[in-house]
Amino acid sequence: MNSLTFGSTVPFTAMTRPLRLEHLYLQYLHLQVCHPLQFIMHLLIDFTLLLFLCTQANSAATDAILAGQALTVNDKLVSKNGRYALGFFSTSSSKPSQDTTNWYLGIWFNTVPKFTSAWVANRDTPIKSTTALELTISHDGNLVILKRSTKSIIWSTQANITRNSTTAMLLSSGNLILTDSPNSAEVLWQSFDHPTDTLFPGAKLGWDKVTGLNRKLVSWKNLIDPATGVYCHRLDPSGVNQLLLTPLNSSIPYWSSGVWNGKYFLSIAEMTSSNQVSNTTFVHNDQEKYTVFNLVDESLVTHFAVDISGRLKQSIWLESSQDWTMIYAQPKLQCDVYAICGPFTICNDNELPYCNCMEGFTITSPEDWELEDRTSGCSRITPLECISNKSTKCPKVEAAASPNECAQICLNNCSCTAYSFNDEKCSIWHNELLNIRALQCSGSTCSTGETLNLRVSAKDFHRLTNNRKGIVIGVATGAGISALGLCALFLLVMIWRNRRKSSSHTLDGVQGCNRIIAFRYTDLQRATAKFKDKLGAGSFGSVFKGFLNDSVAIAVKRLDGAYQGEKQFRAEVSSIGAIQHINLVKLVGFCCEGSKRLLVYEHMSNRSLDVHLFRNNSTILSWTIRYQIAIGVARGLAYLHEGCRDCIMHCDIKPENILLDDSFIPKVADFGMAKLLGREFSRVLTTMRGTAGYLAPEWISGVAVTPKVDVYSYGMMLLEIISGKRNSSASCSSGGNFDVYFPVHAAHKLLEGDLGSLVDQMLHGDVNLDEAELACKVACWCIQDNELDRPTMGQVVQILQGLVEIRMPPIPRHLEAMA
């Protein structure tokens, strides 16, 4: 087990026998009755002792070290607000038999019972022994870690100080500063200028142009080692006003924030929300260039850091769960982090663990992987006889007319690790393979992809083919193998970059992509009994029930209209065909023959949400089911907006497009109007789409839109889930001779605290009113006029789950004008 300990709360002068006030009170009663004079003497002595001990107890919570004082391993400084502590802490090896305890000076969250480091002074110079170790002010005025037995300095602030008497103080912001005196405004040195992996609220990230100081965050090496890791968060060194995540020794980013537009970074959609936990500022002048964030609620305890997985994460401490809850992460996908799994690995965002060795390879350092440091990757089980030290990060393109010729080029080169042949191009890799990942089809195309042929030893080749039936292998034959002997055979192991080879088959073996079946039209005619059982119809076509192999129920959507059908068909296949989520309807396959366009989905036995909300002859959904449907739809949309490689805007969220399975789990369906939005863009200009009554006001104004149009539609639908009636038909009397549009009525009733009149009367009061109030608040925030005031779908999920508090929303002005 990994262990992590930190300094205790013993004060500078340890108390061996704490004095309890009730003991004094008992002494007082006894002496007052029996010994009046002696009572006065004892009372004076006890009062003096109590005053002394209280003074000593206060020293336990001191926030400063003065000249001549020292902080030992059992001591700590505590900021005046009690939030942060500074002291010595230790980390130990995962193997108890090994005495590899390392000690560090650091700052941690004092009010959080789960030890969480925020700053480490000597991250790359751990201390092996704590004998006669102390933190003190040296003769030159610097703060130092001193080994008293040898008078040697282990760590120092190394500030250019001309004074020999200074004070070290831990501020309420978590900043450790060195000043001329406790009341001095001049800061001689501060920990905020030397961050490790964590950014404190109020701390700057960026450059001091005068001194050349560059403040950046660098991840820990692993779970128990705070040494300099391999990932860095910093301002773009090229001069562009944006933030980057890069490997520490490279300026090439694997994630960027987008350019600062004066209010927020363009690629961080969370910054446009009105329900942010923090506010960000960007400063650029002649002396400095930096960004800084401050908490909206100062009582919130938040941890904002680059973790060892190379992702930028922000978490908040929840007292209810006694744990950190992540509220933000970039990049969204773990496999987007550069070389996160190390060489000769395959990264898969849809699996845990997400890193796995390629065939013929084994984990290089299991101990490091146990501590979540996988950058060492995997090594060959059986070394190759011929290999050179040449290594390239990118493939070299060779001239080859066929796959066999490309294979021969690789076989003739001892340094060749793998090859691929695609689009008449032969690509050769040398030595280490990095950033290999398994991905689903994405974007507007869905092809069979590019196959990477990996070089393995003959011994491993035979072992793999004997142990794994059905593996697809390609064996190079001819003079090349004779010349190289056991040096190389090739094993077909995976798909390269953004594409994946299909392993799916139709009834007659027709292949599609991403396990999506490419059906023949006759197959679907037979499956649906010539489109006999019609489930419903929409603006783009009709839906029919069918069966595959006479057992698996499917829903077949037949698109009508040449131009519209083609456009809708491409949109649906390219969007939902590339994603999988429990709250998104699964696309089984498609048919594309001549002018015929059909889409095949999994069949939802409980039909669509509107059937249960608005039709009296159907099942009345309980409040519990409605609330879970609201959360499920929010999760599905959050995945579309934030979890996919490209942001997908659904553009037509309404009850008709929410399907329910056997357990009433909601599935977002009908992606015919979906719009892909690349991660490098924050909004897109597109034609109006969607359904009246669910359209966000920005659609009507014709401006470029964002995923917040889906948030608006979701809010309108959520009101219908609550009321059980159409917003357009659920008008309510205002007390006069006219009716009030239901969303406006709901906003007013929410402010008045009258939830009972808003909830579906068919539930007969069997409602969790706390959840109903929360749902109403969420709905009203989602339909705000300004898209910046609406939450993201990820925030909606957190709010509905009770993880994030939400205040009372204002009444949307554009809706109030309709009243």
Q: Rounded mean pLDDT of 208-236?
A: 95
Tokens for 656? 């008709």
pLDDT at residue 461 greater than cutoff 70: no
Lowest mean pLDDT among 50-59, 60-69, 199-208, 732-741: 50-59
The two beta strands, 361-363 and 396-398, are unpaired
Residue 77 to residue 11: CA distance in whole angstroms: 9
pLDDT score at 391 = 44
pLDDT at residue 655 greater than cutoff 90: yes
- Which H helix or E strand runs over 52? helix 36-60
Under the banding of pLDDT at 50, 70 and 90, the label for residue 414 is confident
Residue 536 to residue 289: CA distance in whole angstroms: 59
Equal CATH topology for 1-190 and 607-816: no
Residue pair 156/135 in contact by the 8 Å Cβ criterion: no
Fold of 195-338: Agglutinin, subunit A (2.90.10)
652 is catalytic: yes
- Which H helix or E strand runs over 136? strand 133-137
Q: Rounded mean pLDDT of 146-152?
A: 81
pLDDT score at 465 = 54
Residue in the structure block whose two tokens are 């072992």: 463
pTM of the model: 0.54
Task: Assign 556 to helix, strand or coil.
Answer: strand
Does 654 appear as a known binding residue?
A: no
Q: Could you give the percent of the chain with pLDDT greater than 90?
A: 38
Give domain 1-190's CATH number out of 3.40.50.150, 1.20.910.10, 1.10.1040.10, 2.90.10.10. 2.90.10.10
Structural domain spans, the chain = 1-190, 195-338, 345-495, 607-816
CA distances (Å), 574 to each of 53, 372, 672, 729, in order? 72, 35, 10, 35
* Residue bearing the bigger pLDDT, 621 or 10: 621
pLDDT tens column, 156-171: 999 988 777 899 999 9
Task: Assign 241 to helix, strand or coil.
Answer: coil
Task: Assign 475 to helix, strand or coil.
Answer: coil
Residue pair 139/146 in contact by the 8 Å Cβ criterion: no
3-state secondary structure 159-227: CCCCCCCCEEEECCCCCEEEECCCCCCCEEEEHHHCCCCECCCCCCEEEECCCCCECCEEEECCCCCCC
pLDDT score at 431 = 74
Residue pair 459/489 in contact by the 8 Å Cβ criterion: no
What CATH number should be reported for the domain whose range is 607-816? 1.10.510.10
Q: Phi first, then psi: give them for residue 174, nearest 5 degrees.
A: 95, 5
The two beta strands, 658-660 and 133-137, are unpaired
Core vs surface per residue 33-72: b (16+ CB within 10 A) or e = eeeeeebeebeeebeeeeeeeeeeeeebbbbebebebebb
pLDDT score at 673 = 67
**Nearest by Cα to 570 from 453, 679, 687, 671:** 671
Task: Find the helix packing angle between 742-752 and 708-723, rounded to 10°.
Answer: 80
Under the banding of pLDDT at 50, 70 and 90, the label for residue 716 is very high
Residue pair 498/440 in contact by the 8 Å Cβ criterion: no
Across 21-25, 440-444, 759-763, the highest mean pLDDT is recorded for: 759-763
The mean pLDDT value of the chain amounts to: 77
Residue 636 to residue 620: CA distance in whole angstroms: 23
pLDDT score at 216 = 97
Task: Find the helix packing angle between 708-723 and 769-782, rounded to 10°.
Answer: 140
pLDDT score at 473 = 28
Under the banding of pLDDT at 50, 70 and 90, the label for residue 190 is very high
Residue pair 783/712 in contact by the 8 Å Cβ criterion: yes
3-state secondary structure 684-746: ECCCCCCCCCCCCHHHHHCCCECCHHHHHHHHHHHHHHHHCCCCCCCCEECCCCCEECHHHHH
**Which residue in 197, 523, 652, 710 is the catalytic one?**
652
Q: Rounded mean pLDDT of 763-770?
A: 92
**Nearest by Cα to 215 from 262, 173, 175, 271:** 175
Find the angle CA(585)-CA(589)-CA(593) to the nearest 5 degrees: 135
Under the banding of pLDDT at 50, 70 and 90, the label for residue 179 is very high
Find the angle CA(271)-CA(776)-CA(764) to the nearest 5 degrees: 160
Q: Rounded mean pLDDT of 411-416?
A: 81
pLDDT tens column, 303-355: 999 999 999 999 999 887 788 888 888 998 888 899 999 999 999 887 778 89
* Residues shown for the chain: 819
Across 15-19, 359-363, 626-630, the highest mean pLDDT is recorded for: 626-630
